[in-house]
Structure 1
Amino acid sequence: MLRSACLALFLVALPCTFTNAADDRPNIVIILCDDLGFGDLGIHGHPHIQTPFIDSLADEGLRFTSFYSTAPVCSPSRVGLLTGRSPNRAGVYDWIPEARTPRPDAREQVHMKKDEVTIAQLLKKGGYATCMAGKWHCNAAFNSPDQPQPGDAGFDHWMATQNNAAPSHQDPVNYVRNGKPVGKIEGFSCQIATDEATGWMAQHVKNNPEQPFFIYLPFHEPHEPVASPPALVKQYESVTWHPDQAQYYANVHNVDLAVGKVVKALENAGVRDNTLIVFTADNGPETLNRYRSANRSWGITAHLRGMKLHTHDGGFHVAGIFNWPKGIKPGQVTDTVGSALDLLPTACDLAGVDLPAERKLDGISLKPLFESGTMNTPARSLVWAYYNGINDARVAMRHGQWKVLARLNGGNFPKRQNLTPTTLAEAKAAKLTDFEIYNIDTDPGEISNLAGRGVAEETQLIKQIKTGYAELVDDSPAWTPVTKSK
């Protein structure tokens, strides 16, 4: 039975200090939670869940009040983060099931294609060492030569699962390290992934102190099947309605402890001051009991409407915390609209790496915000098209203070988890209808629909979402189903 880390990985616990002297570019660590509700953090007002390490990153760095994931569900959200492009452009429209038999909608084929360009690839090309540990969920055929794997996406070292930790966060058996199954690992998944990443980091800094590094740390938590350390669960028994709720609260608390371990490891390695830590989530919280094993999905969105799978803000308005002692002044809170799409161009800007000229990017660099506290650029439009949404609006846009939603064909466009040539043609022909307009500055809960009520910008906003959707769907690829031979 394997332990959560080999001897080399325990080096992170040693109080030794290394230097990262010659290359002054920042190290970059992106921590991504899975199904974390916007309201699940202390910094966002949760009355019970203790998240002091995450809260400290926010207090001592930059916190966004309007930060968005690239989709309201896991797989496309991750592909968008890694590529800086709407996941629709990559052909990843919904969560990716494990490849088994051919399906009529070709979902067994879906993956982040080899011609996509990731943060890891660009930073690696720029001289960075790269590591990934946690939940991958960017392909259907995991650890198979049939589809690209994390190593093909630019990661020098990786330890990952295709989707969720199994059988739960506790003692998972499905991690794969650099193409080789690891077997059962004792412990809890966020701690296991953290040990892997920080152990790799400590070794790297010791052996290559002049080379900056990039770590992508996508936790499985607090996605179901939730399992949490009993001692943490006990702390929440007196403030929860149900034992499963205590399990969820403890799960988020355990994530916070893992974040604290990351910070401590960076301090021990002597690289904390020049490391940018980004903390965010892939989408909003899961709905309690939406499916059979979602009994511990007690996440909340605070004031936001909707949850995971919704195009209202509860589906993809997530935590956006940036902490970099050397480059970001502490105590900043910004109402600038940010997105996980921005992580690739921001990382490249900080690393002095050219963006891929041949790729259509949807993100922008946030470096000016770090330097001056303002972007000094016109408001941009963030557009989402999620064809399997729970709410009726399949298309959404955030532009400045405005949130706009629209149905397709009056709500008669069928739910789609993937697009084939036939259904892509239908998506391109679909008309945006039944517009909703909300002023997020005054109505962050999207309660009062202002469409048709005299908003001066209404005509322009509707034109923008129509244009944005048309541009996005015209750049969306289809997956061709396998034809069964007779």
Structure 2
Amino acid sequence: MTIRRSTLFITAAMLGCWILLAKSSSADAAPLESPQQVSGPRSSPPNVLVIVADDLGFADLGCLGSTDMQTPALDELYLQSLKLNRLYANCPVCSPTRASILTGRYPDRVGVPGVIRTNANNSWGYFAPSTPTIAQRLGDLGYQTAAIGKWHLGLRGENHPMQRGFDSFEGFLGDMMDDYFNHRRHGINYMRRNDAEIDPQGHATDLFSQWASDFVSKNSDSPQPWFLYLAYNAPHTPIQPPESWLSKVKDREAGIDDTRAALVALIEHMDDGIGRVLDSLRSSGQFENTIIAFISDNGGQVNVGANNGALRDGKGSMYEGGIRIPGCIRVPGVTKAGSSTDQVCVTMDLLPTILALAGRPEMQETVDGVSWVPLLKDPDASLPDREVFFVRREGGFQYAGLTIEALLSRNLKLVHNFPTHSFELFDLNADPAESKDLAKSLPKDFRNMIERLQRHVQGGGEVPWQKDDH
């Protein structure tokens, strides 16, 4: 493997810092003095694995309360991680949240206010090439970087993963697959290995899991730390699990309807693939030197059987079911097994968190997210007070290019869930199901929050989200 730039010098410096700061055991560690103080000996700086599920419901794992689901790999990961009880996706649909994960910015601040599609006439974003990604930032620290799975951030050459900081890419360049087995969208093959079109055989989940396992094993003896962005298509539509997994669910779950059975099977199949990736980490001796984060890109799609628990609505909606997502993060030697936090966390926070853990907190300065390091040190800690804005621009007959928005300000949440609907105001502490509109009861808060949301939406208009080809 070619080691780029001054990687050996950077890696050696990071290694020295990492080892000097690694002293106590994970179970009994004293409060950490800085993000780099990770307990336990290290042979190299930490690897980073970010796993993104597509449209996973808030309660659609065994460890999250699902009674018809068996997800042993993710259940075990959750037990070893900090569980993020109030984790929000930056948007209730795919592309914007992915842009926020990779940049640490609000998606409408990087040109992705809506879904980027392979059909240009119904595409609602252009991922700003000038915005550095987490892959570029970690690459500057000497990391080997790879993207595997679903990209969904544009087909143009300047937005290919390898032009956005990734050293390699294996996966689906387009938006959604029309078939998990032939990997086409509108009859076009968007599967790529780096720049080359490929046509592999097999279910997409199996392919992505195998490629990720291969990457982990191949880099087990590398002098470079690595960053792997593993983004599954599952459990996005079409709900198309392998037949053997569907049969297993139907045989086990008496009385389950066909719609729910298919989704359960698709999720369990993904969990099995994630388990194989985690097993590769363990068998190659890298598990205890790898930061692992697991999230979904938005809430579950209700009409295909997703379980969002007690949350209102689902994918595509600004109600809690659309933007509250499953999530956990494991930092070896830091996170305490079985810990959880109720602090508001957002997908754009992943970048500053990972950069802080990699030893470069100053690189967080130009992002909108905040680091979770205080929560990793103490799950009962508080993050800085902040308001969180949500914006989605969409097309079609119902939207006609208009936006839907929300603003979360402590316990109050302002929701504009449909262009022709009125704004609503909810107190999530008293009414987590968002059933009682307080717009008339709290008129001052209502007006002020609309004004603040409007200013945020206006700011997003400063960033071009359509490519000027003229």
Q: What are the within-5 Å matches in structure 2 for residues 153-164 of structure 1?
A: 153-163=164-174
Aligned to 2:415: 405
Aligned to 1:52: 72
Pairing 1:373–2:379 present: yes
Aligned to 2:183: 172
* Distance (Å, rounded) in 1 between the aligned partners of 2:70 and 2:417: 39
TM-score by length of 2: 0.82
The Cα offsets for residues 168-196 of structure 1, whole Å up to 9 and x where unpaired, read as 2235364201011111322x212211211
The unaligned stretches of length 5 or more in structure 2 are 1-39
* Distance (Å, rounded) in 1 between the aligned partners of 2:147 and 2:255: 34
* Distance (Å, rounded) in 1 between the aligned partners of 2:89 and 2:320: 10
The more displaced of 168-177 and 217-226 is 168-177
* Distance (Å, rounded) in 1 between the aligned partners of 2:166 and 2:195: 12
Report the CA distance between 1:435 and its aligned residue: 4.1
Pairing 1:217–2:230 present: yes
Aligned to 1:291: none
Checking the alignment, whether the CA contact within 8 Å between 1:342 and 1:364 is kept in structure 2 is yes
Residue 448 of structure 2 aligns to a residue whose secondary structure is helix
Residue 39 of structure 1 aligns to a residue whose secondary structure is coil
Checking the alignment, whether the CA contact within 8 Å between 2:246 and 2:265 is kept in structure 1 is yes
Aligned to 1:424: none
- Taking structure 1 as reference, are residues 86 and 481 closer, same or farther at Cα in structure 2, changes over 3 Å only? closer
The more displaced of 23-32 and 39-48 is 23-32
* Distance (Å, rounded) in 2 between the aligned partners of 1:46 and 1:22: 37
Pairing 1:312–2:325 present: no
CA-based RMSD:
2.8
Aligned to 2:160: 149
Aligned to 1:384: 390
* Distance (Å, rounded) in 2 between the aligned partners of 1:407 and 1:320: 24
Query: Match of 2:438, as an amino acid?
Result: L
Residue 415 of structure 2 aligns to a residue whose secondary structure is strand
Q: What are the within-5 Å matches in structure 2 for residues 6-405 of structure 1?
A: 24-99=44-119, 103=121, 107=123, 110-139=125-154, 142=155, 144-145=156-157, 147-163=158-174, 166-172=177-183, 174=189, 175-186=191-202, 188-206=203-221, 208=222, 210-237=223-250, 238-288=253-303, 297-356=304-363, 359=366, 361-388=367-394, 394-405=404-415
* Distance (Å, rounded) in 1 between the aligned partners of 2:79 and 2:364: 36
The unaligned stretches of length 5 or more in structure 1 are 1-19, 289-296, 414-433
The more displaced of 238-247 and 23-32 is 238-247
Checking the alignment, whether the CA contact within 8 Å between 1:62 and 1:322 is kept in structure 2 is yes
- Taking structure 1 as reference, are residues 171 and 474 closer, same or farther at Cα in structure 2, changes over 3 Å only? closer
The Cα offsets for residues 354-400 of structure 1, whole Å up to 9 and x where unpaired, read as 555784x2210001110122443442111012234989992211222
* Distance (Å, rounded) in 2 between the aligned partners of 1:265 and 1:338: 29
* Distance (Å, rounded) in 2 between the aligned partners of 1:329 and 1:405: 35
* Distance (Å, rounded) in 2 between the aligned partners of 1:465 and 1:369: 30
* Distance (Å, rounded) in 2 between the aligned partners of 1:321 and 1:150: 25
The more displaced of 167-176 and 264-273 is 167-176
The Cα offsets for residues 14-58 of structure 1, whole Å up to 9 and x where unpaired, read as xxxxxx987653211111111111121112211101112111111
Q: What are the within-5 Å matches in structure 2 for residues 400-479 of structure 1?
A: 400-406=410-416, 412=420, 434-453=422-441, 459-460=444-445, 462-476=447-461, 477-479=463-465
The more displaced of 328-337 and 461-470 is 461-470
* Distance (Å, rounded) in 1 between the aligned partners of 2:101 and 2:465: 21
Report the CA distance between 1:462 and its aligned residue: 4.6
Query: Match of 1:29, as an amino acid?
Result: L
Residue 393 of structure 2 aligns to a residue whose secondary structure is coil
Aligned to 1:12: none
Checking the alignment, whether the CA contact within 8 Å between 1:71 and 1:77 is kept in structure 2 is yes
- Taking structure 1 as reference, are residues 405 and 349 closer, same or farther at Cα in structure 2, changes over 3 Å only? same
Query: Match of 1:93, as an amino acid?
Result: P
Report the CA distance between 1:241 and its aligned residue: 4.4
The Cα offsets for residues 264-317 of structure 1, whole Å up to 9 and x where unpaired, read as 1110111111212111111112242xxxxxxxx221211111111111111111
Query: Match of 1:86, as an amino acid?
Result: Y
Report the CA distance between 1:460 and its aligned residue: 4.8
Query: Match of 2:159, as an amino acid?
Result: P
* Distance (Å, rounded) in 2 between the aligned partners of 1:357 and 1:193: 30
TM-score by length of 1: 0.79
Residue 394 of structure 1 aligns to a residue whose secondary structure is strand
* Distance (Å, rounded) in 2 between the aligned partners of 1:99 and 1:452: 42
* Distance (Å, rounded) in 2 between the aligned partners of 1:306 and 1:264: 35
- Taking structure 1 as reference, are residues 80 and 309 closer, same or farther at Cα in structure 2, changes over 3 Å only? same
Query: Match of 1:314, as an amino acid?
Result: G
Query: Match of 2:313, as an amino acid?
Result: G
Checking the alignment, whether the CA contact within 8 Å between 1:121 and 1:155 is kept in structure 2 is yes
Residue 301 of structure 2 aligns to a residue whose secondary structure is coil
Checking the alignment, whether the CA contact within 8 Å between 2:100 and 2:347 is kept in structure 1 is yes
The more displaced of 276-285 and 233-242 is 233-242
Report the CA distance between 1:324 and its aligned residue: 2.6
Query: Match of 2:173, as an amino acid?
Result: Q
Checking the alignment, whether the CA contact within 8 Å between 1:170 and 1:228 is kept in structure 2 is no
Query: Match of 2:433, as an amino acid?
Result: G
The more displaced of 20-29 and 79-88 is 20-29
- Taking structure 1 as reference, are residues 352 and 451 closer, same or farther at Cα in structure 2, changes over 3 Å only? same
Query: Match of 2:174, as an amino acid?
Result: N
Residue 51 of structure 2 aligns to a residue whose secondary structure is strand
Q: Percent identity?
A: 28
* Distance (Å, rounded) in 2 between the aligned partners of 1:406 and 1:120: 34
